[in-house]
Amino acid sequence: MKILFIGLGSIGTRHLRNITKLLHEKHKLFEIHALRGTARKLETGICKLIHKQMTSYEDIDEQYDVIFITNPTSLHYETLKNVVSKAKKIFIEKPVFSNANIDLSLLEIPQDTICYVAAPLRYTKVFKFLKKLVSSKKIYSARAICSSYLPEWRPMIDYRKCYSASKQSGGDIGLELIHEWDYLTELFGMPERVNMYSGKYSDLEITSDDIAIYIAAYKSMLVSLSLDYFGRYTKREIELYCDDEVIVGDFTKSEIRFLKSGKVISLQEERDSYQLRELGYFLNLADEDNNQNTILHAFDVLKIAKGIL
């Protein structure tokens, strides 16, 4: 199997480690190429996994089995245009694009090419539990939050220089934390309308918005979502207000809490565990009809995140 990575930042290197682990476990032979737009030195362990490094599209091979697009979000659209004919399977890191005002038809995606957009929270034990729960409960409203402190995301990197801090690179809070809208739409479907408020209010030295608040209306319920970069206590959870209980799905602590009864269900797992499940799903995808997160769906979620639904 021949694999091309385009971009090897923190998430790209994580996917690289995980895909090599997965292929080793399956006793699959593989060759990994990397197209990089920076001279930033890679750690020795990552370098050993790469068979060929390049800096120009002109240098990449004509065909790959799999391509990973893991460069900054603002580059995804042009990157996909450059490589869409060079692989039958393409994994695009979330969010799919930084701009919702683009023409998808210009990508000219071949009919037999599978383009999957990352949605790792769907593969967590917490989400799988919630997915089953939602189908059996009467829910009046849901409140979701993702709050954390951007300078602590990547301890070895100056937060002011990472793409998450840059509006120009597509690092706005609504895009960077689009995971939330992805799992919410998977749980409840697409909302009928959404109101969004966002801005830069903290003292963080960034150009991107650091908070976004959404209110989404569904036919039989309301959903609120709060996202921020400045929370000093990490919190990623959803509260479901049901007819007989209040249920919390806590992605940070990997547990489900029933607030009325006091019951707690622990679903402990490591981050790599669910991301390996996602990569396994992606590698096993046989056709676009079975793709759970197509470019079209991810583009609709992007519109919600941008507040233009």
For 122-160, the pLDDT digits (tens) are: 999 999 999 999 999 999 999 999 999 999 998 878 999
Mean pLDDT, range 43-66, rounded to an integer: 93
Percent pLDDT > 70 in the chain is: 100
Q: pLDDT tens digits for 285-302?
A: 988 899 999 999 999 999
User: For 2-118, which CATH superfamily applies?
Assistant: NAD(P)-binding Rossmann-like Domain (3.40.50.720)
Taking the C-alpha atoms of residue 194 and residue 191, their distance in angstroms, rounded to an integer, is: 7
Confidence band, pLDDT 50/70/90 cuts, at residue 171: confident
Q: pLDDT tens digits for 35-50?
A: 998 767 788 889 999 9
Give yes or no for a cis peptide into 95 (omega within 30° of 0): yes
The pLDDT score that the predictor gives to residue 39 is 62
pTM for the predicted model, two decimal places: 0.94
CATH 3.30.360.10 domain locations along the chain: 125-268
Does CATH number 3.30.360.10 belong to domain 125-268?
Answer: yes
Q: What number of CA atoms fall less than 13 Å from residue 212's CA on the CB side?
A: 23
Mean pLDDT of the chain: 94
Mean pLDDT, range 180-193, rounded to an integer: 97
* Residue 115 backbone zone (phi > 0: left; psi -120 to 50: alpha; other: beta): beta
Taking the C-alpha atoms of residue 50 and residue 92, their distance in angstroms, rounded to an integer, is: 19
Supply the DSSP string of 56-81, one letter for each residue: SGGGS-S-EEEEEE-S-GGGHHHHHH
CATH 3.40.50.720 domain locations along the chain: 2-118
Cα-based distances in Å from 270 to 119, 121, 254: 16, 12, 9
